[in-house]
């Protein structure tokens, strides 16, 4: 009979091996800890950038190692081989853009082996998005899409064991409250990151507050709460002296006492000192060590061999040191924290801006590579159009194998990476990102043309029209319209509400007739292409003029407009139905100039600078001066060697230099019947067009900047600034990822005393879609067409940085200055638009919420030179939804999940108490909502669509206010009505089965 001691040993052995024997993933697979020890969770990991110093392909294959030695395929190969040697070993992997590639190259035997490692917890997927997305420059729509893409791959491949439980953003440069809310809604139990402001870090370490509960969204309450942890060491690196991969200089564990270099005691002592110090910053007897770094574990044998030895010898001394080590994962670490008897502190705001040292504010990347930021935002617009039309018409690959959405979906996932959308990759890598978006856009455009053509046809025997897309409409280039006498404009509206928009088409004729979808004449206007746009276009394109007209589209539908030159149209229409060519005339140099419509009025002073804006419908006037300025980018000074660069914004003075010469901006007025413009020339390389549209309550400021001069050796960071009479004091508001609005207070931080060393950069925040100021009466809002950076540095003032050209690297890793020379070699020229809205303060939320939806989900315009028998063959207007959705509801997602399934997301766009009507609960019935799609069943899912909502559970955490998070349990959606109830800021995700009608 076995002794009691032998039985105890057997029980302990069984406890250690049980997870492996049962093959259980999840928290059941965690290696055991010890309640009376400092448990050191050893987390082997690699951080694999989806492009940065090398392209995605180069990183995966290990090419171009002259720049950086990194080969992801070898990392995964090496790790898998090492995991096979010991069931207690662990490894985490994050970036599905890489793992998906590796997986597709494996044979069935290897795939089964890896599935076994996933099932028993040896290999765990953390975060699980297509990339580790940035949190400042990304739009929430794109974040959700890229996370859904990665999570679907994991769920389809590994089942429930492929569902990540922990969010892991160890490299993004600051952290957004909306990101935390989205992660909570995806079902994550925790969120770990490495980068937070150096002052915040020091205070949290001193107060043992490195881990806490983040209140993700006050509108959602406890549903959006998320446990977070800030990593202790140097970012996500191992403790000093304990890196064991290729390229590391640290000594291995040399444990043969017969050899002269035996160092076990020394290394163990060094390790114990580090973990003891680290433990002082945390509140439980558990700490986590990230054992890995960028592109590490290509030599996984070296890592695991040394870690095995280190853990063996540390644990041998646990009785005297009280330190116990174990292989672990962030999930298992979180699970053990959750079991500790702790009352956790809470956090309300976000982690912006981020500075890693007193003079190093990471606000430059809010603006870096402005053209790519606009390209990405526009690509997301097309991606949503593409997904909707594939859902409505079905797959189009049988007609054209390249007419598909997956390429753009994946490349958009890559673009969310924290060195892509941020503009912090090397130039050749950014070129690669741009090429990928171009390819993805082209394939989606093929799908859109075929799908909408199919939906337009009056019967199945009619082929859809041949369509053409013009990707450079913003600089008046469109071969489809420049050389023909007649063409059709097709405008698709991806919003589930009717909208109208002014279409601008490059043409060469002086007068045109536009016929609307109902056969009536549509008023239109022709004017010369502006000097500013001609300057950007150079020798590309031949259009002399631009044609403007108002297009009106039904909800989730399209309208078509027949355009004919006057010469062609005169035989069937009278001259008054033709457009007149509107000329630009100089503004008066001696008096104010006012341009106005029935809705808006804008006044400029005698120099041509903006003086005031009035919303005549709402009887609101704001006195406002607008001009451009530049900050001289620091190249380092006596206070610090820190230069401005791709990551860092550091002006060498708090006072920017004016780009207005103090005399005149050479104002010109184009007083058209549909569009009224005021043209300004601030510099030979800086223009602006201020535009009113006849039926709209906004003012568009279209800026054209570049090439930024640099021959004097100075880096320039260009801003536009609006100085108003609004008494905003020290408060302004910026959006978080296009969704929540964050209150900002100048020279203030929520969690630590603000040190005003860099008064400009320290007050710059990411502006993903809008920034505004207000007082008790009025609200002044600027909507952006891409991510930018901005601030309010004095009461009534709003500034946005719109372009930057720098001559020095900021020494944060990319290794080259941000000096985009563009295809012509003399510098990048950027064209962008700010939409200015002024309202009474009470109406501000409704105005900016609806405007934000219309800008990021703008109507998609394309063309056909086919006009003969158009109305006989095609429906000139059609909606694919039975009725408008309510103002406060947005159709966020509509995509084909399989041949018989659709993924829907419905979003409540308003925050709690933002609007007396639109912040209220709202109900949408899915029954009959989409006439072409008969819904036969529906399941509600978590936000990233990888778990059924009814079975998704999250760990509960105790705070002084009680236990959190709250379970998300909205009213169930059941047939036959399929009513969806939405409360403020909710997003509800559904997978529906359907048949086509």
Which residues are tagged catalytic? 171
Q: How many residues are given for the chain?
A: 997
Burial 673-710, CB ≥16 within 10 A → b, else e: ebbbbbbbbbbebbbbbbbbbbebbbbbbbbbbbbbeb
CA–CA dist 333, 190 (Å, integer): 10
Question: Are 186 and 942 in contact, with CB atoms under 8 Å apart?
Answer: yes
What is the three-state SS of 541-570?
CCCCEEEEEEEEECCCEEEEEEEEEHHHHC
The label of the residue with tokens 């002592």 reads 269
Contact 496, 884 (CB under 8 A): yes
How are the residues of the chain apportioned to helix, strand and coil, as percentages rounded to the nearest 5? 25, 30, 45
- The three-point CA angle 188-191-193 to 5° equals 155
Q: How far apart are the first and last CA of the chain?
A: 74
Closest CA to 467 of 558, 356, 339, 567: 558
C-alpha torsion sign, points 524, 526, 532, 536: positive
Q: How far apart are CA 611 and CA 365, in angstroms?
A: 32
Cα separation, 556 vs 962, in Å, equals 44
Are residues 907 and 957 in contact, defined by beta-carbon separation less than 8 angstroms? no
| CA pair distance 944, 417, nearest whole angstrom | 17
Order of strands, sheet of 545-553, starting from the edge strand that comes earlier in the sequence? 499-507, 545-553, 524-528, 581-582
Distance between CA 418 and CA 802 in Å, rounded?
20
Q: What are phi and psi of 392, to 5 degrees?
A: -75, -35
Instruction: List phi, psi (to 5°) of 356.
Output: -90, -5
Q: Other CB atoms closer than 10 Å to residue 809's CB: what's the count? A: 20
Burial class (CB in 10 A: 0-12, 13-18, 19+), 748: exposed
The residue assigned the tokens 């041509």 is 608
Q: How many CB atoms lie within 10 A of CB 481?
A: 24
């Amino acid at each position: 009979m076995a002794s009691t001691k032998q039985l105890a040993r057997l029980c302990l052995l069984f406890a250690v091996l049980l997870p492996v024997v049962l093959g259980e993933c999840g928290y059941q697979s965690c290696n055991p800890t010890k309640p009376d020890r400092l448990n050191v969770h050893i987390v082997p990991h690699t951080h694999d950038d989806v492009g940065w110093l090398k392209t995605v392909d180069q990183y995966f294959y290990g090419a171009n190692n002259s720049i950086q030695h990194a080969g992801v395929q070898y990392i995964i190969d090496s790790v898998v081989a090492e995991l096979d040697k010991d069931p207690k070993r662990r490894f985490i992997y994050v970036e599905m853009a890489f793992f998906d590639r590796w997986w597709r190259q494996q044979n069935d035997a290897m795939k089964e082996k890896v599935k076994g490692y996933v099932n028993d917890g040896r290999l765990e997927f953390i975060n699980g998005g297509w990339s580790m997305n940035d949190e400042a420059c990304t739009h929430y729509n794109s974040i959700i899409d890229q996370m859904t893409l990665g999570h679907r791959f994991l769920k389809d491949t590994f089942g429930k064991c492929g569902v990540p439980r922990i969010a892991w953003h160890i490299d993004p440069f600051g952290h957004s409250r909306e990101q935390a809310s989205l992660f909570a809604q995806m079902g994550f139990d925790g969120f770990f990151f490495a980068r937070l402001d150096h002052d915040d870090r020091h205070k949290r370490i001193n107060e043992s507050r490195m881990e806490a509960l983040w209140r993700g969204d006050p509108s959602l309450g406890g549903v959006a709460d998320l446990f977070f942890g800030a990593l202790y060491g140097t970012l996500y690196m191992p403790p000093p002296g304990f890196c064991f991969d290729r390229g590391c200089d640290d000594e291995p564990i040399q444990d043969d006492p017969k050899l002269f270099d035996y160092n076990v005691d020394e290394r163990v002592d060094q390790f114990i000192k580090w973990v003891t110090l680290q433990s002082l910053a945390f509140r439980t007897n558990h700490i986590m060590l990230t054992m890995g770094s960028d592109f590490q574990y290509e030599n996984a044998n070296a890592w695991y061999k040394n870690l095995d030895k280190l853990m063996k010898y540390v644990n041998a001394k646990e009785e005297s040191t009280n330190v116990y080590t174990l292989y672990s994962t962030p999930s298992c670490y979180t699970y053990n924290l959750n079991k500790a008897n702790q009352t956790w502190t809470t956090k309300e705001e976000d982690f912006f801006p981020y500075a890693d040292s007193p003079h190093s504010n990471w606000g430059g990347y809010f603006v870096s590579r402005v053209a790519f930021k606009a390209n990405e935002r526009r690509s997301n617009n097309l991606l949503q159009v593409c997904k909707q039309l594939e859902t409505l018409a079905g797959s189009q690959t049988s007609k054209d194998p390249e007419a598909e959405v997956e390429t753009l979906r994946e490349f958009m996932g890559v673009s969310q990476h924290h060195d892509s959308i941020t503009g912090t990759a090397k130039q050749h890598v950014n070129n690669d990102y741009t090429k990928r978006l171009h390819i993805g856009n082209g394939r989606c455009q093929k799908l859109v043309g075929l799908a909408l053509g199919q939906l337009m046809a009056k019967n199945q025997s009619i082929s859809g029209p041949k369509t053409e897309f013009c990707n450079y409409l913003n600089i008046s280039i469109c071969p489809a319209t420049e050389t023909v006498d007649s063409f059709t404009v097709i405008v698709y509206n991806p919003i589930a509400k009717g909208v109208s928009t002014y279409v601008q088409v490059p043409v060469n004729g002086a007068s045109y007739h536009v016929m609307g979808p109902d056969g009536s004449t549509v008023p239109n206007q022709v004017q010369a292409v502006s000097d500013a746009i001609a300057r950007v276009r150079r020798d590309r394109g031949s259009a002399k003029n631009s044609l403007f007209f108002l297009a009106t589209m039904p909800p989730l539908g399209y309208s078509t407009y027949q355009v004919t030159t006057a010469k062609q149209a005169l035989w069937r229409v009278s001259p008054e139905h033709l457009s007149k060519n509107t000329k630009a005339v100089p503004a008066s140099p001696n008096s104010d100039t006012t341009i106005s419509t029935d809705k808006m009025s804008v006044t400029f002073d005698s120099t041509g600078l903006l003086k005031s804006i009035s919303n005549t419908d709402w009887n609101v006037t704001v006195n406002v001066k607008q001009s451009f300025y530049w900050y001289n980018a620091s190249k380092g000074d006596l206070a610090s060697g820190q230069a401005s660069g791709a990551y860092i914004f550091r002006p060498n003075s708090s006072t920017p230099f004016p780009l207005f010469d103090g005399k005149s901006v050479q104002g010109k007025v184009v007083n058209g019947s549909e569009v009224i413009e005021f043209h300004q020339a601030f510099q030979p390389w800086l223009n602006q067009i201020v535009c009113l549209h006849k039926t709209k309550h906004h003012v568009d400021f279209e800026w054209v900047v570049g090439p930024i001069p640099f021959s004097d050796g100075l880096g320039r960071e260009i801003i536009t600034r609006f100085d108003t009479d609004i008494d905003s004091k020290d408060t302004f508001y910026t959006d978080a990822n296009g969704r929540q609005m964050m209150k900002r207070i100048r020279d203030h931080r929520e969690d630590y005393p603000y040190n005003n060393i860099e008064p400009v950069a320290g007050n710059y925040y990411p502006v993903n879609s809008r920034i505004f100021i207000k007082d008790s009466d009025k609200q002044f809002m600027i909507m952006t067409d891409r991510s930018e950076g901005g601030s309010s540095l004095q009461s009534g003032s709003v500034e946005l940085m719109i372009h930057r050209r720098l001559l020095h690297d900021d020494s944060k890793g990319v290794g080259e200055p941000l000096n985009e020379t563009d295809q012509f070699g003399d510098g990048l020229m950027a064209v962008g638009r700010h939409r200015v809205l002024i309202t009474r303060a009470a109406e501000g939320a409704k105005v900016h919420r609806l405007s934000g939806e219309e800008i990021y989900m703008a109507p998609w315009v394309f063309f056909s030179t086919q006009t003969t028998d158009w109305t006989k063959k095609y429906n000139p207007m059609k909606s694919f939804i039975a009725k408008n959705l309510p103002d406060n509801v947005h159709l966020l997602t509509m995509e084909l999940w399989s041949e018989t399934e659709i993924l829907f997301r419905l979003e409540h766009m308003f925050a709690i108490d933002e609007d007396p009507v639109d912040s209220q609960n709202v109900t949408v019935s899915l029954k009959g909502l989409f006439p072409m799609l008969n819904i036969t069943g529906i399941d509600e899912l978590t936000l990233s669509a990888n778990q059924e909502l009814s079975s998704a559970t999250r760990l509960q955490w105790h705070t002084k206010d009680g236990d959190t998070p709250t379970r998300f349990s909205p009213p169930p959606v059941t047939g036959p009505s399929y009513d969806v109830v939405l409360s403020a800021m909710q997003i509800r995700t559904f997978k529906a089965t359907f048949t086509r009608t």
